[in-house]
Structure formats: structure tokens, C-alpha cells
Amino acid sequence: MKLVSVRSHATRTIALRRGPLLLIAAIFFGVGIPLFLWHQVGFAIYAASGFSWVHTNGTVTGSHATDVPTIQFTMRDGSPMAFKEDYFMMCHRSFCFVRYFDPGQIVPVVYDPDAPTRAYIYDWALFSNTIEWFVMGSIFLLFVLLFLGVRVPLNLSVRLGRGPNA
């Protein structure tokens, strides 16, 4: 009958090391990510309030196939609205594939009824950019917590072996 027991109840503090690597990381995480989040705040607004946005269909306008389509749709009150979506830019920095749109193509659209100029093609690119916004926001929050020196407790208990009845 062998019984192995390992226990550790240590609290580990992550210490910040000063140096050029920390400076580069601080600039990237402390400046780059907040600028990205500010520039792409529309996706966070959609994620927070998109359940109340209006779904409709829009028509691609233009003279040739493009990845930067102009979409025209009709709002609830019957007035026409148009927006341009840079699909290449949306998919270039996110994990979606660039689509090309043909003139006259019908696409699903979602728009904010309070600000109808805030509209998107309702497909995977919208969701991937919204997910990306929250992932980057989480990374920034984690960086802030680590930069402020928040202690991370580590409690580890492992018990291996056979019990007394084996």
C-alpha cells in the first residue's frame, strides 16, 4: 500500500521586470490595444445593444463586383439609407474570409434604429470582429491587472496512490 501526497499552499506574486521588453509590452498593451478598442468601438456597441437593432435586407449598388460594397436598404419608416462597408478591412485583421459582392445582390443588414448610419452586413465578419473586440478588451484588462501588481494565489493539492481498501 503506497500513498503519495503533495501539497503546496504558496501565494505567488508575479513580479514585473524592468527593461526594454517591458517597455515595448507596456506601449503595445497600454497604448496599442486601447487605440484599437477605441477605433473599433462600433463592434462593442453592436454586441451590447445589437439585440434591439433592426434586421432587414439590403441591395448592393455599384457597377462591378467589389469587397467594399455600398449597401442600400429601406428603414422602418420607409426612407432609404445607404452605407459603405469595407469588407476587406473587416476581414483583413480578423479571422474571416473576404467576400466579394455583385451589383444587385441581396444581403442581410442590421442597423441601429437610433443611429441608422451605424449599419453592418449581418454575417460572420460582424460576429468575428465583435468577438475580436472582446478578446482584445480582455487581454487589455489582464495586462492592467498584472501591471498594477495584483497577486495571483496558487493553491495546489495532488494526492496519488491507493486507498486503504485497495
Residue 102's domain spans which residues? Answer: 3-161
- Enumerate the H helices of 40-152 as residue ranges: 41-49, 87-92, 124-147
Asked whether residue 106 is assigned to any structural domain, the reply reads yes
d(CA 110, CA 45): 13
d(CA 91, CA 136): 16
H helix or E strand, kind and range, residue 153: strand 152-161
Asked whether residue 72 is assigned to any structural domain, the reply reads yes
Counting the structural domains of the chain, the total is 1
Asked whether residue 166 is assigned to any structural domain, the reply reads no
d(CA 10, CA 152): 10
**pLDDT band per the 50, 70, 90 thresholds, residue 124:** confident
pLDDT of residue 55: 92
Whether the Cβ atoms of residue 87 and residue 98 lie closer than 8 Å to each other: yes
* Mean pLDDT (whole number) for 75-90: 84
Percent of the chain with pLDDT over 70: 70
Asked whether residue 74 is assigned to any structural domain, the reply reads yes
